[in-house]
A and B are shown apart, each in its own frame.
Chain A
Amino acid sequence: AQKVTQAQTEISVVEKEDVTLDCVYETRDTTYYLFWYKQPPSGELVFLIRRNSFDEQNEISGRYSWNFQKSTSSFNFTITASQVVDSAVYFCALTLYNFNKFYFGSGTKLNVKP
């Protein structure tokens, strides 16, 4: 069975602080994909990144970076120098190769205070 765990329910930081959102996944499949989505207060989920299980290279996109470690089944997301606009709920998700369903974590609510 597949499972995604986001243990941090809610995090509050002050603007310009760095923050890391944790994601731990479970699957016995060797080929899978991991995703991060952002859900701002408006409600729409916005795709941030996709990673396949064969690519453990970390990725940086502006203030965002992702750390994928198969050894610990984790796919953590770091925001550097956080801003108020980063306030949202962030979801980690897993899907398997040749399978259509996404398994979402329960989300982490990030509050960035000015």
Chain B
Amino acid sequence: EADIYQTPRYLVIGTGKKITLECSQTMGHDKMYWYQQDPGMELHLIHYSYGVNSTEKGDLSSESTVSRIRTEHFPLTLESARPSHTSQYLCASSERGTAGNEQFFGPGTRLTVL
């Protein structure tokens, strides 16, 4: 069973607030990912990391930022939340090595910006 955690699970905030979505994994995986997903819809990669101090932007333009100071931790920050940021955010991780390793997903954070 995958050990990847996301907090909070649900968040309702007002426009203009700064928020950080937490993601941690205890599997020692080097690769971590953030996806944005509207309910039941396609996943869009917004950030990924190959390891500590490595971060890259994904395919979907996002106003969020990420950091990777520790292997196990990959937080996502929105400096000023807007209603257009309302979505589900999924964190995932996978082992180093060939790309054939599956990604393990966290339970997601459902964000609503009023």
Interface residues of A (CB under 8 A from B): 33, 35, 37, 39, 42-47, 50, 52, 89, 91, 95-102, 104-107, 109
Instruction: Flag the segment in B42-50, B63-71, B75-83 that touches A.
Output: B42-50
**A72 CA to B92 CA, complexed, in Å:** 30
Known A44-B108, A107-B40; judge A97-B99 contact (CB<8 A).
yes
A85 to B50, CA, bound (A): 35
Partner of B100, one of A47, A91, A97: A97
Query: Shortest Cβ distance from B59 into chain A, in angstroms?
Result: 8
Contact pick for A50, options B33, B41, B100, CB 8 Å: B100
Partner of B99, one of A33, A44, A45, A106: A33
16 more A-B residue pairs beyond the given contacts A47-B104, A100-B94, A101-B45, with a C-beta to C-beta distance below 8 A: A33-B100, A43-B90, A43-B108, A44-B105, A46-B105, A47-B102, A50-B102, A52-B100, A96-B99, A97-B99, A97-B100, A98-B98, A101-B48, A102-B33, A107-B40, A107-B41
A106 touches B42 (CB 8 A): yes
Q: Which residues from A are CB-within-8-Å of B50? A: 100
Interface residues on B, range: 20 to 34
Cβ contacts B95-114/A at 8 Å (1 or 0 each): 00011101111111010000
When chains A and B are docked, how far (Å) is the Cα of A39 from the Cα of B40?
8
* CB <8 Å contact, B41 and A44: no
In the complex the two chains form, what is the Cα distance from A101 to B58 in whole Å?
Answer: 9
Q: Is the CB of B42 within 8 A of A107?
A: yes
Chain A residue contacts of B99, Cβ below 8 A: 33, 95-100
Contacts of B108 in A (CB 8 A): 43-44
A-B contact pairs, 16 of them (CB 8 A): A37-B105, A43-B88, A43-B90, A43-B108, A44-B105, A44-B108, A45-B92, A45-B105, A47-B102, A97-B98, A97-B99, A100-B94, A104-B42, A105-B42, A106-B41, A106-B42
Give the chain B neighbours of A89 by CB distance below 8 A: 40
Closest to B104 in A: A47
Of the candidates A35, A95, A105, the one having the most CB atoms from chain B within 10 angstroms of its own CB is A95
Cβ of B87 to closest chain A Cβ, rounded Å: 12
